[in-house]
Structure 1
């Protein structure tokens, strides 16, 4: 039986990595951190922010509400305040459906 190496999974991400994933400036993420209570990255001894996967999920939720849906900051706060988990699940579902759609469009183009 061949030996399989376990994949190393990162626990913490820098603000630069999070900003790159979303295609936004790091200053915007810092701004959102001050505006929304659900973004609470840990800070190391140097003061650098360390985002967990949960933090990234929350940042993506805010990005979706503000940038893609056009919510105001107050509107996004109210939406999240009602039910963070339900809002997050909706966002994940939407992204999954978009990925399926993109796959199907690509598949159709390849068949034509």
Structure 2
């Protein structure tokens, strides 16, 4: 899944939820369930997600929403082979970006 977020140091939970097309409560729930998510909190307690957090959310989203893993299954998969999952996800992400660029080129030629 390709998300469309501008390059920033921190993202608010609303921005992240909108990028993933889920509710903010969904993001908070995943934060409680997956210890890999550790957003910073400001003085008001608002969550601020880094780009690393967003990448981790992409992996969780991919496993749970796209691959159909249960939460427990996704947790086990991430603990089992965390480096392999991240590498595979990055490869899939790059291939999706290449595919979208090729589609743009095809549409411009037509």
Q: Same fold (TM over 0.5)?
A: yes
Q: Secondary structure at the match of 1:50?
A: strand
Larger relative CO (CA 8 A, sep 6+): 1 or 2? 2
Moved more, 96-105 or 48-57: 96-105
Gaps in structure 2 of 5+ consecutive residues: 1-6
Q: Secondary structure at the match of 1:70?
A: coil
Count how many residue pairs are aligned between Structure 1 and Structure 2: 104
Q: CA deviation at 1:44?
A: 1.1
Aligned to 2:52: 54
Moved more, 57-66 or 101-110: 101-110
User: Out of 70, 73, 76, which is 1:75 matched to?
Assistant: 73
Aligned to 1:13: 11
User: Out of 90, 93, 96, which is 1:95 matched to?
Assistant: 93
Equivalent-residue separation in structure 1 for 2:42 and 2:100 (angstroms): 39
Q: Secondary structure at the match of 1:10?
A: coil
In the TM superposition, what whole-angstrom CA distance separates every residue of 1:50-82 from its partner, at most 9, and x where no partner exists? 111111111111001111111111110011001
Aligned to 1:41: 39
Equivalent-residue separation in structure 2 for 1:17 and 1:36 (angstroms): 20
> Which protein has the larger Cα radius of gyration, Structure 1 or Structure 2?
1
